[in-house]
Amino acid sequence: MKIIDTKFESQTVTNNMESTRLDFPILKLKVNNKPLVYLDSAASSQMPQVVIDRLSYYHTAQHANINRGVHYLSETATAAYNAARCKLQQFVNAKEDREIIFTSGTTDAINLVMHGYGRKFIKAGDEIILSTLEHHSNIVPWQMLAEETGAKIRVIPINDAGELLIDEYEKLFNKRTKFVSLIHVSNSLGSINPIKSVIAFAHTHGVPVLIDGAQAAPHMSIDVQDLDCDFYAFSAHKLCGPTGVGVLYGKEELLESMQPFKGGGDMIATVSFEKTTYNTIPHKFEAGTPPIAAAIGFGTAIDYLSTLGLDEIHAYETDLLNYATEQIKQIPGVHIIGTAADKTAILSFVIDGIHPHDIGTLLNQDGIAIRTGHHCTQPVMQRFQIPATSRASFAFYNNKTEVDALVAGIHAVKQVFS
């Protein structure tokens, strides 16, 4: 059942991928007198007008703090905030809405698990399995835990295509293995990891698994019950929503067993100077005033994407990625980094003799927005013995004309340095 916010009906949106550009006002922008070609959605996707309107409606007709007030605005805001949680529950097919914790983003969600689960259950000599593909936000928190507790980090290697070596992953397990934290889709290469089988293998050893879904949730259907993951984290700003809000899904029994990450208001049941008792989930992990407007906007973004259909989005973006890959690999001196058989809409490349930052700067002169750098995945760059890449990341609001503009832009960059 689709949940509609109190006194707010989402405006009609297109259900045709080719015309979704009309839903995004920023795509009408010109940069350096050229039409904007936005190919940086892996960093942050753009917001459709319906999300912008929902945020405006909240601020002009609903703004108040939630959960405590008995007045009209507080009750209205509370209802809209709770509705957003239910939308996220349905989006990932969690069993209950209380398994959905609002965070400030994927990084915050991973840190919540590290503090709430890791600091309670992981001890000296225990081992945590990560992969070479991880974003820094899924490396650094676990290193901090290891330094604090004396636990050890074990790393799954990858092959030259940017794919996990599953046989090596399985060899890492032993009686000291206590946790696996793994990215679903590589943000720098686009590789889609076989997380369902990875999770199943970990569970045969009684080991819980956290999945960083920041780059997967915008591009494909996620069913946490089917995956049987223990935790799943993702962010709104990569899902056509606002910045500053994300979600941690966690299995109820694990969330109940964890200690709170932050202390403050609303995460408590009772407080005295002698003792504090904690609230039930999800409130136990949502201390203080939450990102109310952003969470409500996130819910509307989920409505929008659900209307389009995540399977349809994945098919369209895969076609766009394949088209871009075929075009770019024909250009002499350009090398695609990350050629996994199963990829999502990310294309990283290097050009012989040209620094990625120079590539990005020159493309920007033509209004083409890409990402350059190590993409918070320095171990990946070290694996391929490069300092950085240029990364074009596609969304359903992109089209082949924009891919052609990117290809023409790369040729122009090469001409400058020839």
Q: Which CATH number fits domain 58-306: 2.130.10.10, 3.40.50.300, 3.40.640.10, 3.30.70.100?
A: 3.40.640.10
Q: Which pLDDT score is estimated for 5?
A: 52
Task: For residue 198, give the amino acid letter.
Answer: V
| Cα distances (Å, whole numbers) of residue 26 to 49, 91, 129, 188 | 9, 26, 41, 25
Number of C-beta neighbours around residue 319 at 10 A: 14
Catalytic entry in 86, 229, 240, 376: 376
pTM of the entire structure?
0.94
Residues 323-341: pLDDT tens digits? 999 999 999 999 999 999 9
Residues of the chain with CATH 3.40.640.10: 58-306
Residues 189-235: pLDDT tens digits? 999 999 999 999 999 999 999 999 999 999 999 999 999 999 999 99
Residues of the chain with CATH 3.90.1150.10: 17-43+309-416
Q: Which CATH number fits domain 17-43+309-416: 3.20.19.10, 3.40.50.720, 3.90.1150.10, 3.40.50.10440?
A: 3.90.1150.10
What's the chain's length in residues?
418
- The beta strand positions in 207-290, using DSSP E, are 209-212, 231-235, 246-250, 268-271, 276-278
Residues 232-246: pLDDT tens digits? 999 999 999 999 999
- The beta strand positions in 36-169, using DSSP E, are 37-38, 100-103, 127-131, 152-156
Binned at pLDDT 50, 70 and 90, residue 76 comes out as: very high
Q: Can 376 be counted among the known catalytic residues?
A: yes
Residues 306-316: pLDDT tens digits? 999 999 999 99
Q: What is the mean pLDDT of the chain?
A: 94
Q: Which pLDDT score is estimated for 271?
A: 84
